[in-house]
Structure 1
Amino acid sequence: MNKSNLELVRECDSFPYYEDNRAVYTENLKKYHAFRVNGYDDTLGYILNSVVEKWPWPKEHWVIDSAAQTVTLTTPADATPEYRSQVVAESIAAAVKVDAFEVLRGWRNEKYPVYGPGGEFLLDMERYGAHMTCYVEDATGLKFWIPRRSKNKQTYPSMLDNTVAGGMCTNEKPFECIVREGVEEASLPESISRATIVARGCVTYSHIRDARAGGEIGLSQPEVEYVYDMKLDPSLIPLPGDNEVEEFNLLTVEEVREALARGEFKPNCAVVIIDFFIRHGLLTAENEPDFLDILSRLHRRLPYPLASH
């Protein structure tokens, strides 16, 4: 059965909304512990209860309050980001060593920033991302360069992706991230990328990982994805630059729509494609009955401290 555009957006933005159903939202929160850092009142994310129970928490740096359902990093309130990051890295390494979680078996130890109130940099751990859609345009209309993920990828193997996508490292700007990923993933010349890429805003969502993601199910994954477009000359053909992509195919608008409806796209990549369709007038209030719902769900207000890049 084909999936609607709204169903695809809901698949990605799957963490319940308090405003929609307070009972469902409250029941869902019971599955998680709130992650906090000593000296700050903000919740920085949610950790699945089963993960909290299995994690080998070093007691000198972590306090688990089962009644309040919180996990607190107890480094000094004036600790440096470098020190907090070191403690978190050591805690993750301990879990990797005992093979406590399937999701950590492919751990790449990449450094992503966590922010506190006012965009204060607290430590390295989480991620922002950048996604780019590359397309060509001729007399027959738009066509999209769509990669198929490697069948050996730990996450979402063999699913369809955006042309270029990746996580932003600490101190990396979104534009620099997408240029770098363009070279690494699609063999796009840096000079052409810098002259051609256009920033198109962001999509935001709060995802609950399912079986397709690989590893533990139910992990909470709130994300900000910076969105870029790149119109390519037909002579420039993206080619896999690493082992993350099997191949690139040039698909028509209708072929992309059909692949979306079949559920072939990685959930957040489907959202980025739908965002492109809206921005380019391919998806409108006239041809999409759920237009307003889709539009609002593409820009979820995340209840965590954020930083503007």
Structure 2
Amino acid sequence: MPKLSNLELVALADSFPYADGSAAYQSATGLLYQFKSHDGVANLGYLLPFVVDALRELTDHFVVDDQDQAVCIRKEYDTVEKRSKLMNDLALSWRNEKKFKVLAGWRSELYPVYYPTSTIYFTLERAACPLFGLVTYGVHLTAYIPATADKPLRIWVPRRSKTKSTYPSMLDNTVAGGISYPYGIFDTLIKECAEEAGFDSDLIKQGAKSVGSVSYYYVRTSQAGGESGLLQPEIQYCYDLEVTEDTKPPEPVDGEAEEFKLWDVDTIMRELGAGNFKPNTALVTIDFLIRHGEITPEKEPNIVQLCSRMHRYIVHPIK
């Protein structure tokens, strides 16, 4: 298998075509419907035709407009509570009917959906969010030992459990997890660090450094679980954690990871090129390597494109 370039790796996560008028964009969007707020203003996400067909039957709750290619929540759902109940009751009924395969990954976690900006519009079961193309959020932490006079920079890299329903046995960021309601960003980071890697909360509070975010527009594949082609725009809040040789190493706690390896940049670049990282964690790793001067304009001719693709403008309302 030929080595994947950094740009090809980022494109695996940022895989939805750009609005550039190209044939790829026209083909991708020609069949999509906008999922609109009850006031008809906000495009909360994009719906695939088979989801639209399922919503056609629910005329008491949604209005399907084929001319404008939109599905709108009915106006009477005018509170967060009403909308959240509507959406979660629907997701649960679809799950019980086994209507969509993606719902087999039910997590009993609520994800927040925002509209207007930073205002919660409703909350929805995590597994159902891709059916509606909703923006989701997560935290990713990279724990690393900086370079010294005699050793290169090294990163703690976990291998996902072979029994996971999504991306089994692939490589991951040191810690990563979705932000579920009502947890905040840093609260989620502390929780995930304890659950996935056994990191003490004091270590995270004192050492985790916020380094911004990445954003991309993912078209789900079979590796993600459920139906292929579902859309998942995502924003990940990124953190760096500088550790030392004496810091207690990460270890599997909740079974999400099988093992952690301390790898140098050459090893990580080789594993990236082989396609062994989960797509969005490959993107976060590349972002880390750029920020730490391991991927430079001299080494990477596509660095401007890389940075743009890793910080994509999301057309839907966001946090």
- For the criterion TM > 0.5, the same-fold answer is yes
Query: Is this contact kept in 2: 1:55–1:100, CA < 8 A?
Result: no
Structure 1 distance, partners of 2:295, 2:315, is: 28
Between stretches 200-209 and 166-175, larger displacement belongs to 166-175
- For residues 79-132 of structure 1, the C-alpha deviation after alignment (integer angstroms, 9 at most, x for no partner) is 221221111000000110011111111211211111113332100135211111
Which residue is 1:111 aligned to?
110
Residue equivalent to 2:132: none
* Alignment check: 8 A CA contact 2:105 2:225 kept: no
The equivalences for 1:225-264 within 5 A come to 225-235=236-246, 236-264=248-276
Classify 1:153/1:52 alpha carbon distance in 2 versus 1 (closer, same or farther; 3 Å).
Answer: farther
Q: Distance in 2 between matches of 1:22 and 1:102?
A: 31
Distance in 2 of aligned mates of 1:56 and 1:251: 51
Q: Deviations over 1:167-196 (max 9, x none)?
A: 112242212211110001111001111100
Once the two structures are TM-superposed, the CA of residue 52 in structure 1 deviates from its matched residue by: 2.7
> Partner residue of 2:86?
87
Give 2:141's aligned residue: 132
Q: Percent identity?
A: 40
Q: What residue ranges of structure 1 are gaps of 5+ in the alignment?
A: none
Deviation of residue 166 (structure 1)?
0.7
Return closer, same or farther for 1:57/1:241 CA change in 2, 3 Å cut-off: farther
Contact 1:103 1:216 in 2 (8 A): yes
Q: How many Å apart are 1:251 and its aligned residue? A: 1.1
Choose which of 170, 174, 185 in structure 2 pairs with 1:163.
Answer: 174
**AA matched with 2:280:** N
Q: Distance in 1 between matches of 2:243 and 2:75?
A: 49
Offset at residue 135 of structure 1 (A)? 1.0
Q: Deviations over 1:218-246 (max 9, x none)?
A: 01110110000011222311011112111
Q: Is the contact between residue 85 and residue 123 of structure 1 (CA under 8 Å) also seen in structure 2?
A: yes
TM-score in terms of structure 1 length: 0.94
Deviation per residue, 1:271-297 (Å, 9 max, x gap): 000000110001111110111110111
Deviation at 1:54, TM superposition (A): 4.5
Distance 2:91 2:81 in 1: 15
* Equivalenced residues, count: 305
**In the alignment, is the contact (CA less than 8 A) between 2:56 and 2:62 conserved in 1?**
no
Retained in 1: the 8 A contact 2:197–2:251?
Answer: yes
In the TM superposition, what is the alpha-carbon distance from 1:51 to its structure 2 partner? 2.8
Aligned partner of residue 26 in structure 1, secondary structure:
helix
Listed as ranges, the gaps of 5+ residues in structure 2 are 130-135
Counterpart mapping for 1:18-37 below 5 A: 18-19=19-20, 21-37=21-37
- Give the match for residue 98 of structure 1: 97
- Of stretches 182-191 and 120-129 in structure 1, the one that deviates more from structure 2 is 120-129
Q: CA deviation at 1:47?
A: 1.7
Aligned ranges 1:170-209 → 2 under 5 Å: 170-209=181-220
After superposition, the Cα gap between the structure-2 partners of 1:92 and 1:57, relative to the gap in structure 1 and judged at 3 Å, is farther
Query: Which stretch of the first structure deviates more once superposed, 166-175 or 182-191?
Result: 166-175
Q: Which amino acid aligns with 1:176?
A: D
Q: Of 222, 229, 232, which residue of structure 1 is paired with 2:233?
A: 222
SS at match of 1:305: coil
Counterparts of 2:225 and 2:105, CA distance in 1:
10
Cα pair 1:57 1:91 within 8 Å, conserved: no
